[in-house]
Chain A
């Protein structure tokens, strides 16, 4: 807005080719419209310069734990822009869009195959929305069985914030289950808390500590014994693809994050997609719509028998679904398994190379991500935040900080399978150097980052005196 100069414009349109129509009375019309008046060149230069202030997967190593910042293949973007995909209207008749429906159908089956749950709905537009759908499905299932007294959902203390938030939006009361010293769910605690008032358990596997819970069978059995259901947060699916199946492990319903595991671009905070996968008994409750195939081979959008309803205006984030499908086709079955193997090797390599420099909260092999803690650096006045900011000086995006909440001064590192050994070795070298700097020159860390257009920003001021929009003249 501050570059606006009256009279400039970026785009111009064709003149009207129809006879002039009478406009509505002036009182109904808008008198003032404040939008920037800039030339196209101004706009392009503005955005291009802004883009240079970002770290991204395309420009930097980005080991943001739990977010799976893997490389986003460019062919997927090219395919998404084909006219026959980008310019089809969601309300066209089914027979006018058979190609799109066929693609969605194949994506449904592919995702089902990958997780081992036979039914899918692609309509949920992010992981959190998938979680909400899952919680509403669990609620619908119990009510269909006349089971009205289940008011509680169990959630591990290490769960991502969207888990309890989604359970709450579905009308449930959230009860937290503690973890044990090995980072697994405390089985005794679980057994103490389970009852036939529990609608279900929300579980991330591997969990947010990057650890595969060895008691998974018993956990699921315990919940099922009491008539509850197990919801899977599939955010960490990058560790398991091709090696294990979630359905047979005991999960009844699960969501996937296509913008994490399936390579679709993160976009600075979306768009994503959070499709829902469900077992046979949960299938009737899936959100609307799903794609069905008739005997004659025709595809159509249908509503599951006892669907919880629509969670979005149309059919889901098709542009994102398309990219995920292209990715799956480019990897194939063997490739899917190679993804997780490599992700796990990369993470464990980092673990073993850093364990003499940083505290490891859990002394065991990890899955696709590793958590270290800044505990050893604390005596020097250094916190996880300072280490993270110093990484920026080396043009590496910091790992996830202070999550999960159960680990003090946590840094969660997820390299993904798309990083080479050289990149990882460089990261290890930098982390070792920072560990030394924490002892010898802590001020260097505390004042980091040094080379970015902005140094540390005053978040307290932003919250106390909110300035949320341009207000100049």
Chain B
């Protein structure tokens, strides 16, 4: 079950609003399953400005590469250093320790444009896999 405390994008990413106003971003359970064993993650550095739907990095598994598209616009506050060392965290805990970046959002209402957990599940069912 995908956690209800966050929003989801059609690119299989999630965005979670934090108490301090920042937004944490990661990839979903479905995404990590599709990718297989993740071996490397390329993330933007702190201070970099990002735009919604812009490619901001890559997730590599043994046999494939997937682009990461930002679900919202803003400025990167921090990239998760532990997944640089241990990319398997993204497989093991995609909604917790496997988070990717934390962002200072420039347009908070963008979050409302994303899907809820329930809508994302319907979206997954509609895909033929």
Contact = CB atoms under 8 A, between A and B. Distances in A.
Is there direct touching of A and B in the complex, by C-beta distance under 8 Å?
A: yes
Interface of A: 402, 459-460, 463-464
B105 interface: no
Nearest to B62: A459
A459 B61 CA distance: 10
Nearest to B91: A460
Main DSSP-derived SS at the A contact region:
helix
6 tightest A-B contacts by CB?
A: A460-B37, A463-B39, A459-B62, A464-B39, A460-B62, A463-B62
A463 B63 CA distance: 10
Contacts of B61: 460
Scoring B37, B60, B61, B86 by chain A CB atoms within 10 A of each residue's CB, the highest score goes to B37
Nearest to A464: B39
Main DSSP-derived SS at the B contact region:
mixed
Contacts of A459: 37, 62
Interface residues of B, number: 11
Contacts of B86: 464
Interface of B: 37-40, 60-63, 86-88
Contacts, number: 18
A400 to B, nearest CB: 14
A464 B60 CA distance: 10
A459 B40 CA distance: 13
A463 B88 CA distance: 11
16 contacts: A402-B63, A459-B37, A459-B62, A460-B37, A460-B38, A460-B39, A460-B61, A460-B62, A460-B88, A463-B40, A463-B60, A463-B62, A464-B39, A464-B40, A464-B86, A464-B87
Contacts of B38: 460
Contacts of B87: 464
Contacts of B88: 460, 464
A457 B95 CA distance: 29
A402 B36 CA distance: 15
Contacts of B39: 460, 463-464
B85 to A, nearest CB: 9
Contacts of A402: 63
B128 to A, nearest CB: 11
B66 to A, nearest CB: 14
Nearest to B60: A463
A463 B37 CA distance: 10
